[in-house]
Structure 1
Amino acid sequence: MNPVIRAQLRDFAKANSITAYSPEKQFEIYSIFSIMSGLLGENIDAYDVHLEGDEFGVDGITVVIQGEAVQTRAEAEEKLGAIQNASVEFIFFQSKTSTSFDYGEISKFFDAILGFFKGDLGGESDQVDDLIGAMDAVYENGVGKRNPKLSCYYVATGNYEEPVRIEKLRANFRGQLEELNIFDAKTITIEMVGARNLQQWYRAATSAVEVEIDFPRNVVMPSNGHVEEAYIGYIDAANLLKLYISKDADNKVVGINRAVFFDNIRDYDAKSKINRAIKDSVRVGGGAEFVFRNNGITVVSKNIDRTGDRFRLEDFQIVNGCQTSNVIFDLVYGDQGAEGSGDQSLVASIQVPFRLIGSRDDEFVSSIIVGTNRQNPVRDEQFWALRPFMKSFEEYCRSLDSEEIIYFERRDNQYRNQAIERTRVMQPSVLMKAVAACLLFQPQRAARDYRGILSEYENIIFLDDQDVRIYHAVAYLYYRLEFLWRNQRIESSYKTFRYYILAGIGLKLTNSTNVFSMKKGKLTAVAESLIETCKDEEVLKKAVEEVVGIVHERLKATGVTGQERIRDAIRSEGFASAFREKYAHPGASVKK
């Protein structure tokens, strides 16, 4: 194996608690992470994308709907039902530690992808069957304005030299995919990934985003106690593009780096009347009028190093200007991947209103994000994560000793450049699911309806005057379970019952009592008991076995078998009610 990749892999395995895996399995997850986070800018856990068995021809599959990975039919249906015309992408991975790009292995990879969509890959594993169910839901529920995007990545540790036989195989495979007529043909990606790309993308995924731009037409903005420095003016398209284009190891532009955008870049529609009109006006009359017709872009950077008119930005986000950024990318490089449709001569003529703000004050940055994005379709949990309680929760979790510390990621990729155990990073949506199961005792709804739970209980949970310790205890429990799974200390099959495990432990420690009605002293005691349970591995494993035993007992009593039927059963209110009854004392109830 390439020595640089070996060193990166060693660090990655330690940071992601997968040292118990074989080197081959570690490499598979590392490859997925490097591509998903470093190239595509997706904030999706590579461990969840990875297939745990020895499935034919493929190591990782994910179905991404509006930026979130779904793993089952129910999750896909819930996501598609919540968002009209949601963007959908299917991504496949196959990784080999060999330095060679093997024709036979690549052929198997292509056959596996075709088999996934034709149904021939069914039965390979429960994971694959669940993902096929998610795929079926996508096409059964309608794909909206655009057919799904498809991306396929075959990884080896050598350099890909484009041998004729493999290039012919790749061309034939592309033709087969296009003949299915179920994808957006312009966005089909089939990549052979080598060592140089892996190294570059891994560094991009684990380092602060850094770029240099020329911004000569700037005016210093008024001083502010929350801002180190700030500028307003306008910038040409060439420099603007430097902020968000993604390149491969050969410096070829391969797309947009989603990681630098706060708002939801997937809501961009290249074919909308407005965006088409903007592009047509530029192509016909040049870009001279663009600066007068556009509201511009706002960038917030934690560090700005200015030398004359050259600005070096580190750890920055484009907090407003998603549509503008996409339009300019399309004009210069082609409509979302349509080769030959771009015009790079336009970079000199297009000028864009531009605000550059240097600030390390998270609260002030949050106020900018809210102020510039309220009119945009940003995910609800992104704004929810900026609430004052979440700031307090983040600070508390981060202040604890090394054993109990949790890194609450209020903004996507907030901790990407820090050398920390990645398993301890928790996203807002994950916290909401864990709280829904462990404290609200709603395991049947936690995974697929956490937004509904948030809306229903918004006056009860995450309130500014609430004690953050009980929430930290739940987050820590979620982390400890994940740690045990990744280190193969509890059965991986128990993941199906993840939210019932959280609920069962919560029910037992609270005596099935509504924690939000408890007095402060009692609530503190519950939080401390939960932490102690988590710290004692044998006690925690015993608690997991107890909950799984109750679930299996209930499944046996109802005669439910088969993975799909089991998933349907545990999502029912009747099943959850019977489960809660096992823990409840006579007369006890859980009230909102």
Structure 2
Amino acid sequence: MDRITKQLITDLFNSQEKSETNPSDDFEYFCNYAVLSSEYNKTFDADTITIGSGDDTGIDGIGIIVNGHLVEDQNEVDDLLDSNGYLEITYIFVQAKTSSSFDSAEMHKFYFGVKDFFAENPTMRRNEDITKFAEISNYILDNASHFRENPKCKLFYVSTGVVNAEDTTIEAVRLDSEKQLDTLNLFERINSILLGSNEIGKLYRKTKNPTSATFIFSNKVTLNETDGINQSYYGVLPFKEFKKIIIDSNDNIKSVFDDNVRDFQGSNNPVNKSIAETLGSETPNLFSVLNNGVTIVASTIKPSGNNISIFDYQIVNGCQTSNVLFEYRNDSEIDEMEIPVRLIVTEDEDIKSQITVSTNNQTAIKKEQLTAMSDFQKNLELYYNSIEGDGRLYYERRAKQYNSDRTVVKRRIVTVSNQIKSFSSMFLNNPHMVTSYYGTIVKKVGESGSSIFEKDHQFATYYLAGLAFYRLDSLFNSGVIDTKYKKIKFFILMLVTKLATDEKIQHLNSKRLVEKFCDPILAILNDQTKTENLFKEAVKIIDESGVDINDKQFVKSKSMTDGILNKWKENAT
């Protein structure tokens, strides 16, 4: 392995607070991270897509992306189908070899393993990871009637050598793999891609760059200068230029809607149905006068005449519009259709929040709710930033917002998803729901009575949940806790507060009571020995409870939660 690739692997492992083990396994993890990052625009844990050794059918990494979301469970597929009314699938397969050349025999093994993955009667022995992903895939394929088109399949074979386009043997193997997979009649498109050390290095470096887009903005006017706003424009963009803002080079929708407050509500939403009907009608150009348009907030801009480059940007209003337009991205008839666009350039977080609230006055969500949600998320991020020392974590309010910050240890990032799951498990006692029915919980966030992100909640409970999640993840990473328990990590987190203190917390809005409850637990979580003992005790209770952690259906049930809580109560008496 060349020196540059070794250094990039070290850089990734340092950013993940991950210990290097052996060159082969480390390179596999590195390639899985770099490849999926190029295909998926949200934050993810590379461990979840990395296949365990032994009976791996020649595959090192698998990612299944459904409607723009990386899925790990069949129920997530149901949530997405229910929300969107359709399924759009991309399969990602990775094989990584540290050899400095492309081995045709190893390539054949990889490609045959992928074909066997989709076989109705597979012939190769499968480990637990391959089995899990195959079950998800089979469930997806059983719902083929809901496909907008057949799935895409991308195969990445990575070596530390140099890709030689003139090597006819290797090229023949690559092309044959596509032909073999094509005989399955499952895929809309199949791409078999070879990457050498130079190409995989470029993909990794790209993960550190902020979100950017370059487009031609001819029909615009410059708005008057305002305090705190560097530049602002208003105008219309033809769809062929707007695509560059919302779609990446792999034809995936970008993760630029985190500040929009409301996620995409799906094609079944009445407003989105109306937008789709206009786009699909004989007069799609009416869209520009019927739609309120899109508001984009960027931190930096580089204009050159009508050519505009924006960096670190978010679409703060227009998430629904953008996602419906994305669905029509291949319709050449709407390429010239004009979209009203407001572009604002500012680095002031308060102004960004004000713009988000003022441009999101949908009837389905009250303005005071918007303000509370926006302020709560911003202030929660500030609370995380106020913590120093070994307990320093980073709340990722916007997807990949810390990607370009090299001072941030990426494993210390707490995503909104993991924040909701850990908080809900620890303070609402429902790990069975966050394990499988995460979509149900998310849909209620921001609504009155959701019990998550309530405007008067104290931030300490959220930080406590984030720190517990990080500490447990670190114990998995170091081998202190067996990784077989990763699948039930939120059940383990549920026990943290119960084992750490006899106190009970009733009011999450009382600063005094919350601090009294949280401070002793935080003290434990900031002591390595006490932390290890705490989580080992949680695992022991789960083992002694008799619950079957390998029963996938049972793990999704309230009975699993009740069984563990009953054992804890028994031990406590």
Q: Same fold (TM over 0.5)?
A: yes
TM superposition shift of 1:201: 2.1
Cross-structure match for 1:128: 130
Pairing of 1:76-475 with structure 2 (within 5 A): 76-81=77-82, 83-118=84-119, 120=122, 124-142=126-144, 144-146=146-148, 147-162=150-165, 163-183=167-187, 185=188, 187-235=189-237, 240=242, 242-243=244-245, 246-247=248-249, 254-256=250-252, 258-260=254-256, 297-319=294-316, 320=318, 322=322, 326=326, 330=330, 352-366=339-353, 368-369=355-356, 386-419=373-406, 420-453=408-441, 455=444, 458-475=449-466
Cross-structure match for 2:553: 568
State which drifts further: 527-536 or 231-240: 231-240
Query: In 1, Cα distance between the equivalents of 2:46 and 2:300?
Result: 29
Cross-structure match for 2:567: 582
Note if contact 2:499-2:538 (Cα within 8 Å) is conserved in structure 1.
no
Note if contact 1:66-1:266 (Cα within 8 Å) is conserved in structure 2.
no
Note if contact 1:366-1:386 (Cα within 8 Å) is conserved in structure 2.
no
State which drifts further: 23-32 or 320-329: 320-329
TM superposition shift of 1:273: 12
1:539 alignment partner, one of 518, 527, 530: 530
1:551 alignment partner, one of 542, 547, 550: 542
TM superposition shift of 1:279: 8.8
SS at match of 1:462: coil
Query: In 2, Cα distance between the equivalents of 1:533 and 1:80?
Result: 42
Cross-structure match for 1:485: 476
Q: 1:297 to 1:204 in 2, by over 3 A?
A: farther
Note if contact 2:469-2:493 (Cα within 8 Å) is conserved in structure 1.
yes
Query: In 2, Cα distance between the equivalents of 1:436 and 1:384?
Result: 22
Query: In 2, Cα distance between the equivalents of 1:279 and 1:469?
Result: 49
2:485 alignment partner, one of 466, 487, 494: 494
TM superposition shift of 1:74: 4.5
State which drifts further: 317-326 or 162-171: 317-326
Query: In 1, Cα distance between the equivalents of 2:125 and 2:424?
Result: 32
Task: Map Cα deviations across residues 364-383 of structure 1 (whole Å, 9 max, x no partner).
Answer: 434545666777999xxx98
Query: In 2, Cα distance between the equivalents of 1:102 and 1:418?
Result: 37
Query: In 1, Cα distance between the equivalents of 2:459 and 2:351?
Result: 22
Residue 114 of structure 2 aligns with an amino acid whose one-letter code is I
Residue 481 of structure 1 aligns with an amino acid whose one-letter code is L
Query: In 1, Cα distance between the equivalents of 2:147 and 2:231?
Result: 42
SS at match of 2:473: helix
SS at match of 2:65: strand
TM superposition shift of 1:59: 0.9
Query: In 2, Cα distance between the equivalents of 1:518 and 1:325?
Result: 41
SS at match of 1:490: coil
Query: In 1, Cα distance between the equivalents of 2:69 and 2:191?
Result: 19
Note if contact 1:153-1:192 (Cα within 8 Å) is conserved in structure 2.
yes
State which drifts further: 542-551 or 231-240: 231-240
SS at match of 1:104: helix
Q: 1:236 to 1:467 in 2, by over 3 A?
A: closer
Query: In 1, Cα distance between the equivalents of 2:511 and 2:425?
Result: 21
SS at match of 2:179: helix
Instruction: Structure 1 unaligned segments of length 5 or more: list them.
Output: 248-253, 333-342
State which drifts further: 467-476 or 407-416: 407-416
Residue 24 of structure 2 aligns with an amino acid whose one-letter code is E
Q: 1:259 to 1:4 in 2, by over 3 A?
A: farther
Q: 1:453 to 1:330 in 2, by over 3 A?
A: closer
Note if contact 1:512-1:585 (Cα within 8 Å) is conserved in structure 2.
no
TM superposition shift of 1:491: 1.2
TM superposition shift of 1:564: 4.4
SS at match of 2:300: strand
Task: Map Cα deviations across residues 214-252 of structure 1 (whole Å, 9 max, x no partner).
Answer: 5344311244445222011234667555545645xxxxx
TM superposition shift of 1:391: 1.6
Note if contact 2:372-2:455 (Cα within 8 Å) is conserved in structure 1.
no
Task: Map Cα deviations across residues 95-126 of structure 1 (whole Å, 9 max, x no partner).
Answer: 12223222111111111112222253775322
Residue 348 of structure 2 aligns with an amino acid whose one-letter code is D
Give TM-score, length-normalised by structure 2: 0.83
Q: 1:143 to 1:126 in 2, by over 3 A?
A: farther
Note if contact 1:441-1:507 (Cα within 8 Å) is conserved in structure 2.
no
Query: In 1, Cα distance between the equivalents of 2:302 and 2:566?
Result: 61
Query: In 1, Cα distance between the equivalents of 2:562 and 2:285?
Result: 64
Query: In 2, Cα distance between the equivalents of 1:168 and 1:273?
Result: 48
Note if contact 1:236-1:352 (Cα within 8 Å) is conserved in structure 2.
yes
TM superposition shift of 1:533: 2.1
Residue 164 of structure 1 aligns with an amino acid whose one-letter code is T
Query: In 2, Cα distance between the equivalents of 1:122 and 1:240?
Result: 46
SS at match of 1:461: coil
Note if contact 1:512-1:584 (Cα within 8 Å) is conserved in structure 2.
no
Note if contact 1:408-1:427 (Cα within 8 Å) is conserved in structure 2.
yes
State which drifts further: 273-282 or 104-113: 273-282
Task: Map Cα deviations across residues 394-426 of structure 1 (whole Å, 9 max, x no partner).
Answer: 101012114212211122222221111111112
Task: Give the number of equivalent residue pairs.
Answer: 552
TM superposition shift of 1:92: 1.3
Note if contact 1:65-1:80 (Cα within 8 Å) is conserved in structure 2.
no
TM superposition shift of 1:463: 2.2
Residue 114 of structure 1 aligns with an amino acid whose one-letter code is K
Cross-structure match for 2:516: 525
Cross-structure match for 2:495: 504
Pairing of 1:27-66 with structure 2 (within 5 A): 27-54=27-54, 55-66=56-67
Query: In 2, Cα distance between the equivalents of 1:179 and 1:274?
Result: 38
Note if contact 2:501-2:521 (Cα within 8 Å) is conserved in structure 1.
no
Query: In 1, Cα distance between the equivalents of 2:295 and 2:393?
Result: 30
Residue 134 of structure 2 aligns with an amino acid whose one-letter code is I
TM superposition shift of 1:519: 5.9
Residue 131 of structure 1 aligns with an amino acid whose one-letter code is F
SS at match of 2:480: coil
Query: In 2, Cα distance between the equivalents of 1:383 and 1:129?
Result: 43
Cross-structure match for 1:337: none
TM superposition shift of 1:569: 2.6
Task: Map Cα deviations across residues 536-557 of structure 1 (whole Å, 9 max, x no partner).
Answer: 22222222222222222222xx
TM superposition shift of 1:307: 5.0
Residue 492 of structure 1 aligns with an amino acid whose one-letter code is T
Cross-structure match for 1:251: none
Residue 399 of structure 1 aligns with an amino acid whose one-letter code is S
SS at match of 1:578: helix
TM superposition shift of 1:53: 2.7
Task: Map Cα deviations across residues 466-525 of structure 1 (whole Å, 9 max, x no partner).
Answer: 221121011011011112222333211121221121011122235383443796444313
Q: 1:106 to 1:576 in 2, by over 3 A?
A: same
Note if contact 2:32-2:50 (Cα within 8 Å) is conserved in structure 1.
yes
Residue 172 of structure 1 aligns with an amino acid whose one-letter code is D
Query: In 2, Cα distance between the equivalents of 1:9 and 1:142?
Result: 39
Cross-structure match for 2:68: 67
State which drifts further: 6-15 or 44-53: 44-53
Residue 93 of structure 2 aligns with an amino acid whose one-letter code is F
